């Protein structure tokens, strides 16, 4: 089972003295990540300018990670005490994490498809349905993973679904670029805002994929190695590597996501302004590039021309 560490073998080989401080550090980092994730859940749910379904998907993802850490902290402590731990909650949580990116891309697909009124209508059924399907898939695959003799199909399917999500995200970005650069004057301001939001989200997903590539590589390798009859010392090593890669995932991904979410950064700046002086960030366009001063007048003129045409 993934996450199982054979302490007896480590003690016989004399490697336990090296693993012991790693498990102590792991337990401390897991406890720290609990408060860390709580902070991000608060930021997400107080960033009201972000679409309701985006907030929901991120909140559920970080929420399940938070629940996972509560059960996860039992593992290093039980290993340190010489007990046995086999927790299905961790596996279900990992499966949910693997299908988070597809869920977010599907939500952006709906945003692109229903461009006419998606910004004005929260469409709660879309977000609720995606979260429900993610939860069912994670519970079903996680439960079966825990008892299956061969877990390679679970890993391969997760990899395929994420590859499809990445390709779909590129396609969504391509469509929204066409919308963005089109000369169509029938788009309202809210529709043009939704197009820009879709573009920003697509670019954000690309950067997130790059940031978690190492996590996916290590964890999926550990999943695959768990199926083969390799020496216990290597299984112990992959178990520790998997745990630390998941911890890195939990600490890095929220930061990478926040750097691409303007509403999150605004909320963080408000919170941090109580302790440090504010710094005015440069204006950026939908592609994250700085807006040159010479184009400010042009952009402002286009905005007010569109606004004036709608009032007429």
Of the listed ranges 194-203, 265-274, 282-291, the least confidently predicted one is: 282-291
CA-based Rg of the chain, rounded to a whole angstrom?
Answer: 23
Contact 137, 143 (CB under 8 A): no
More confident residue, 146 or 86: 146
Distances from the Cα of 141 to the Cα of 110, 128, 151, 155, angstroms: 25, 20, 10, 10
What percent of the chain lies above the pLDDT cut of 70?
A: 70
Distances from the Cα of 137 to the Cα of 14, 58, 92, 93, 132, angstroms: 41, 17, 9, 11, 9
Residue 283 has pLDDT above 80, yes or no: no
Token pair 């929420």 is found at 63
User: Residue 134 — very low, low, confident or very high, per pLDDT cuts 50/70/90?
Assistant: confident
What percent of the chain lies above the pLDDT cut of 90?
A: 2
Exposed, middle or buried: residue 162 (CB in 10 Å: 0-12, 13-18, 19+)? buried
User: Residue 21 — very low, low, confident or very high, per pLDDT cuts 50/70/90?
Assistant: very high
Q: What is the pLDDT of residue 136?
A: 92
And the tokens for 57? 């998907």
Mean pLDDT of 263-276: 79
Residue 300 has pLDDT above 80, yes or no: no
CA distance 178 to 199: 10
More confident residue, 168 or 185: 168
User: Residue 34 — very low, low, confident or very high, per pLDDT cuts 50/70/90?
Assistant: confident
- Give the pLDDT confidence of 209-252 residue by residue, as tens digits: 666 666 766 777 777 777 778 888 888 888 888 888 888 888 88
User: Residue 89 — very low, low, confident or very high, per pLDDT cuts 50/70/90?
Assistant: low
Distances from the Cα of 270 to the Cα of 27, 47, 107, 169, angstroms: 32, 11, 28, 31
CA distance 301 to 273: 32
Nearest to 89 by CA among 148, 139, 34, 158: 139
Distances from the Cα of 72 to the Cα of 7, 44, 132, angstroms: 17, 24, 23
Q: 3-state secondary structure string, the chain?
A: CCCCCCHHHHHHHCCHHHHHHHHHHHHHHHHHHHHHHHHHHHHHHHCCCCCHHHHHHHHHHHHHHHHHHHHHCHHHHHHHCCCCCCCHHHHHHHHHHHCHHHHHHHHHHHHHHCCCCCCCCCCHHHHHHHHHHHHHHHHHHHHHHHHCCCCHHHHHHHHHHHHHHHHHHHHHHHHHHHHHHCCCCCCCHHHHHHHHHHHHHHHHHHHHHHHCHHHHHHHHHHHHHCCCCCCHHHHHHHHHHHHHHHHHHHHHHHHHHHHHCHHHHHHHHHHHCCCCCCCCCCCECCCCCECCHHHHHHHHHHHHHHHHHHHC
pTM, 2 dp: 0.64
Residue 182 has pLDDT above 80, yes or no: no
- Give the pLDDT confidence of 47-63 residue by residue, as tens digits: 776 777 777 877 877 87
* Helix 88-98 vs helix 52-72: crossing angle, to nearest 10: 150
Q: What is the average pLDDT score of the chain?
A: 76
């Amino acid at each position: 089972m993934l996450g199982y560490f054979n302490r007896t073998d480590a003690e016989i080989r004399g490697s336990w003295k090296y693993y012991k401080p790693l498990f102590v550090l792991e337990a401390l980092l897991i406890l720290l990540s609990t408060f860390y994730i709580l902070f991000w859940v608060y930021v997400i749910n107080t960033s009201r300018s972000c679409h309701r379904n985006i907030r929901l998907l991120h909140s559920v993802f970080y929420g399940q990670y938070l629940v996972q850490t509560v059960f996860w902290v039992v593992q290093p402590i039980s290993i340190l005490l010489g007990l046995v731990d086999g927790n299905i909650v961790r596996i279900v949580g990992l499966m949910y994490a693997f299908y988070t990116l597809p869920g977010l891309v599907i939500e952006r697909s709906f945003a692109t498809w229903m461009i006419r009124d998606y910004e004005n209508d929260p469409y709660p059924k879309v977000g609720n349905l995606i979260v429900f399907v993610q939860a069912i898939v994670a519970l079903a695959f996680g439960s079966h993973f825990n008892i299956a003799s061969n877990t390679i199909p679970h890993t391969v399917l997760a990899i395929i679904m994420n590859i499809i999500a990445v390709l779909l995200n590129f396609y969504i970005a391509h469509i929204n670029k066409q919308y963005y650069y089109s000369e169509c004057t029938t788009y309202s301001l809210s529709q043009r805002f939704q197009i820009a939001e879709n573009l920003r989200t697509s670019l954000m997903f690309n950067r997130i994929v790059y940031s978690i590539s190492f996590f996916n590589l290590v964890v999926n390798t550990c999943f695959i190695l768990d199926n083969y009859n390799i020496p216990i010392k290597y299984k112990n090593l992959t178990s520790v590597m998997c745990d630390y890669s998941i911890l890195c995932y939990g600490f890095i991904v929220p930061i990478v996501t926040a750097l691409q979410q303007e509403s999150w950064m605004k909320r963080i700046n408000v919170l941090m302004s109580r302790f440090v002086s504010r710094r005015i960030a440069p204006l950026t366009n939908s592609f994250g590039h700085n807006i040159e001063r010479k184009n400010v007048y042009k952009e402002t003129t286009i905005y007010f021309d569109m606004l004036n045409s709608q009032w007429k």
